[in-house]
Each structure stands twice: as C-alpha cells, then as structure tokens.
Amino acid sequence: MRVLFERNVVCPMRDHVNLMANIFRPEMGGPYPVLLTRLPYGKDTGFAYGLLDPVRLAETGYIIVIQDVRGCFASEGTFDGFLQEFEDGYDTVEWASKLPGSDGQVGMFGASYYAYTEWAAAASAHPALKVLVPTVALDDGWEGVTFRNGALEWGMAASWYSSLAPAYLLRTKKDDSNFKQLFARLIYDSDHLSELGYFELPLDQFGALKHADILPEFFDQITRTTYDETWRAISIKPHYKNMDVSALLIGGWYDVFQKSTIDAFQQLQSFGQDVRLLIGPWTHVNYSNAVGDREFGMAADSSFLNFQYDRTTLHQLWFDYKLKGQDNVLVHEPPIKLFVMGENTWRYASEWPLPETVFTKYYLHYSDYLSTVLPGGEQVSQYIYDPANPVLTTGGNLLMTPKFRPGPIEQTDIESRSDVLVFTSDVLTAPLEVIGPIRAQLWVSTTAKDTDFVVRLTDVDQNGKSINLADGIVRMRYRDSIEHPELIEPGEVYAIEVDLWATGNVFLVGHRIRVQITSSNFPRWNRNLNTGASNESTEDSAIATQTILHDVVHPSHIILPVIPRLQ
C-alpha cells in the first residue's frame, strides 16, 4: 500500500496556538484508526522515528500523526513543560479523531517525555483515545524523575535541560545582539558538563543555563524541594482510577523510569483495565542486547524480542488487537513478559510481584558477610563520608552524559573505596532466581544533621567481577515524609527503608550476592553536604562519620524477592 506524507499540518489548540504535525496516511481505502505521538524533541528529527517505523505502520492501515508539542520546533507558543500536555493532549486527540480518513479512534505511542504526553492525554479522558503504548514512561515529576527519596536527580536534570537549551536559546534569543557569544558559551558548557558543570556549587548557579539566562523553570524545579501543589498538578498517579484505556507498557531493568512503568501497570490492572507489561534488560535509550558491560544474547534485542517480533510489529499487534479487534499472538499471552538476566531468558507472569515470590531477608554482619542468619551481638560498621570526595556514579538506572554509562557496569573501583561498605554472601551451590521489588531495612547513625545512605545490590561471578543490579537512596531529612522534611539528631539511631526498585536476575552457581552501602552516587544524585542547609543554594560542606548497626536489636538487612525452583 502506498503511503502519503504531509508536513506541518496545523492543529489548533483552544487558546488559538497552532501546533504542527507530520502525517503519514494510506493512499487508498479507510477509514482508519489514528496513531498519535507528541514530542518536544522535533517531529523531523531521529527522535521521532527511532521508536518505530511510521511508514510500515501506515501501510498496515493506520494514520500516523507526529506532533511537535507547544513551544518546540515548528509549533507555536511557549514550552512550559508537563502541565501543558493535559489540555494540549485533549485538544490534539479531538483534532486527530476528526482528521479526513479517520474512523474516530485514536491510539498513542511514545517514549520518555512523549510517553508522558500519552498519560496526560489519557488523564484528560477524551473518549476517542482508546489505547496506549508508553515506553520508558514517567508518571510523576517528583519521585524518580527530579528527586529520589529526597535526593535530587542531578545528573538527569542537568543533562536533560542542557540538551533542550540550544533549541530554546535559538528560539528565544536569536535576535539578541550577543546571540553568537551566548550560543558558543552554551555549547562549551554543555560539552563540559561531565567534567565541570556537574561539579559546580551551589546548584542553583548552574552555569550552562545561567550564562545563557534561559530555562528559569530548571532553577525553580531544583529548589522546590518539598512535594507541593505544583508537583501534584503534573502527577499522573491520581488519574489512573479514571482512565478508560488499554495500555502496553514497555520498560527496562536499567531504565530511569522503571518504577513508574511498574507502578502504572499495577494501578491500571487494579482498576480493571487491559494492561500488559514488557521489561527487558535495557536502559532508557538502549534497547539492544549489549547493555553496559554485559551481553544478553540476541533474544534480548528489541529488534528481535525473543525472535517473535520487532518494536514496530509489537506496536502493530497491540493496536490491531485493541483498535481493529484482530486476534493475534498478544491476545493469548500472559500480561507480563520479563527478561531474566543471568540465565538470559524471557519468562511470563500473571501478576506483579510474581505470585510465588518468597521475600527473603539477607542480613548484614560485621565481618562484611551477608547471610540469611540473624546477626548476634556484633560490632557496628563505619565509614567516613566526605562530600568533597564523593563516590562517582558507575552504572545503574541513568540518563546522563555519555561519560557516565548506564546499565550493568563492573564495580571494582567503587568497592575498593574506604567509604563503601561491602557485604558478600557465600558462594551459591544452586541458582537463586530474584525477580521483583527490593528493599533494604537499615539501622543507621551519623554525626551530621542531614546525610544520605545509598544501598546497591550486585551479582559477583566466579572471577570476582561485581555487576550492579539495583540501587536506592534515602536523604535523611525525608526519611519519614517528602512533604514534611525534618533534620536528624547527630548520634541518634534511625531505622530507614531504602527502595532499590526492582530487578530480574538469576544468581548462577558459583556466584555470590553482594550489598554495597555508602553515602553518595554522584553526579547521579546531588551530594548531601551534611550541614542541614539547602543543598541547592549553599556550597559549604562537612565530613561525617556514618554508622551501620547490625546486631540482634538492629538486624539491618536487604529483602530479596526469591522465586522458588524445583531442585
């Protein structure tokens, strides 16, 4: 079937701002469902076509619409971020459902920010919107996006806004007499973010944007450090119960929005929607079979997906099922499909967490030992945390500059530091399958008024190579509430829970389980300066002595979701 292409088709919003879209449509026949994506990265750039092939989808009988969101590239207006996508999403769905050749049904697809635009449109509840495919999607501007348990997601925030900055500067200051100098300095600052910009203090003087005097919402965002009405206004979480859409959620074990993806699946499933979950061993931008320091086999590559289909075909099958009523392989599969690292296989499940999960406590012991045996009367473990010499980010659920590689990365340099505690199990004599959410319960003390504790789970092979699986952080002032932060008393003992999100991994025979504990993962999370003052507007820091208790009264441990196996 031949496909016709239209560029810069006008889509009017309720306030008379015009958003521009590219449209791919079948030349003959119809009417057809409309598949829509709305992104801030340019409808004419590689971002618009990296997720799937719109021509192939159009050939199968769909009208494909790719739109620049408000204030970006060809679209009019001012880009104000997440909040604008609710009304603009509704208005665009209304317009798309009435395009020539449309059958009145709309589905949406997209990744990252343009997966959020799907959620925002679904929250606005236009009746024409029937089905979504959010890939690596965020659903809340605070948790896991700008902050993680109170710690600023500095690496992601600085990198993302820096990537938006050149287009924004060109759009807003191209007639400024100093434009060339401003643009040159912005590119210099962006190019040196890894070595210079990330390390600047205080954070609210972030040079890459301050020098150009642009994107003031960035500074407002990083200094608005309690969960207020502004944050609530852009959260999707309150809207799930009112959504009437089916959704195929695609995520990665090392994606920055892994938790949002899993939470959205659980919420929609609990409210009776037809929702599916697919998680590969992927990062936010890498959906191949080679991720970080690991090679997972060709079946892990999203271009093959267990040798069943590629990403475009996966989208087509889901849309065919939900918008055309066609019977296909997705109809008969269980709702959850997960890649299990270690053994490098795909498996299906009906619920999350998996119904057969046995949540098992692994306790920390003074001799750097990790076991299922309760500790006795043991000494504490201690280390010194100096904010001027933080533990540098090495792998994980990252979206940062290329110097800081995401995914599974060897941890030798991290574990050799004196400010990183390492607890390791005995060598495994049988495979240990761990799939699901992971939490750590710690009893801690510090000499600081405020500080951080970071916990990381790793898989150690026969050669001693330690590969990260999951991690989490707690900023102590937010230990009990993100809405009502409270400083701590130096020397007091506090019980804290650290959410490491989730993983899917088999620890093979001959491997060992390892837990790291430290107080920084920088620049992924901004340094806690240990002073109790604002970490965003000050640069003074203090050195702290950190104490982890692990005795019969304070049995610090990590809880692993173990999947029983037949011996």
The DSSP letter of residue 453 is E
Question: Can you tell me the distance from the alpha carbon of 267 to that of 247, in angstroms, rounded to the nearest whole number?
Answer: 11
| Domains defined for the chain, CATH in brackets | 3-143+232-349 (3.40.50.1820), 151-224 (no CATH), 358-563 (2.60.120.260)
Q: Closest Cα to residue 134, out of 48, 43, 247?
A: 247
Is 328 exposed, middle or buried, given 0-12, 13-18 or 19+ CB atoms closer than 10 A?
A: middle
Torsion of CA 287, 290, 296, 301, to 10 degrees: 30
CA torsion 108→114→120→121, rounded to 10°?
Answer: -30
| CB-CB contact of 239 with 263 (8 Å) | no
Q: Residue 125 in contact with residue 244, Cβ under 8 Å?
A: yes
Tens place of pLDDT for every residue, the chain, 567 residues? 899 999 999 999 999 999 999 999 999 989 999 999 999 999 999 999 999 999 999 999 999 999 999 999 999 999 988 999 999 999 999 999 999 999 999 999 999 999 999 999 999 999 999 999 999 999 999 999 999 999 999 999 999 999 989 988 988 898 989 999 999 999 999 999 999 999 999 999 999 999 998 888 899 888 888 898 999 999 999 999 999 999 999 999 999 999 999 999 999 999 999 999 999 999 999 999 999 999 999 999 999 999 999 999 999 999 999 999 999 999 999 999 999 999 999 999 999 999 999 999 999 999 999 999 999 999 999 999 999 999 999 999 999 999 999 999 999 999 999 999 999 999 999 999 999 999 999 999 999 999 999 999 999 999 999 999 999 999 999 999 998 999 999 999 999 999 999 999 999 999 999 999 999 999 999 999 999 998 888 999 999 999 999 999 999 999 999 999 976
d(CA 565, CA 504) in angstroms, rounded, equals 15
Name the residue with tokens 């009437």: 244
HEC letters along 240-291: HHHCCCEEEEEEECCCCCHHHHHHHHHHHHHCCCCEEEEEECCCCCCCCCEE
What pLDDT does residue 535 have? 82
d(CA 290, CA 297): 8
Rounded-to-integer distance, Cα 493 and Cα 489, Å: 9
| pLDDT at residue 529 in the model | 97
Residue 539 and residue 339 in contact, taking contact as beta carbons nearer than 8 Å? no
In angstroms and rounded to an integer, the radius of gyration of the C-alpha atoms of the chain is 24
Tokens of 379: 């000494």
CA 154 to chain centre: 13
* CA nearest to 424, candidates 339, 517, 295: 517
Total Cβ atoms within 10 A of residue 465:
14
List of residues 6+ apart from 412 with CB closer than 8 A:
465, 466
Cis before residue 353, ω within 30 degrees of 0?
yes
Residue 70, φ and ψ in degrees, nearest 5: -50, 130
Active site residues: 112, 255, 284
Residues 6+ apart with CB under 8 A from 316: 56, 57, 60
536 vs 204: CA distance, rounded Å: 6
* CB atoms near residue 75 (< 10 Å): 24
Can you say whether the dihedral through the CA atoms of 346, 352, 353, 354 is positive or negative?
A: negative
Rounded Cα distance between 202 and 219, Å, is 11
* Predicted pLDDT of residue 567: 65
Give the DSSP H/E element, type plus range, for residue 421. Answer: strand 421-424
Cis peptide before 216 (omega within 30 of 0): no
Residue 39, classified by CB atoms within 10 Å of its CB into exposed (0-12), middle (13-18) or buried (19+), is buried
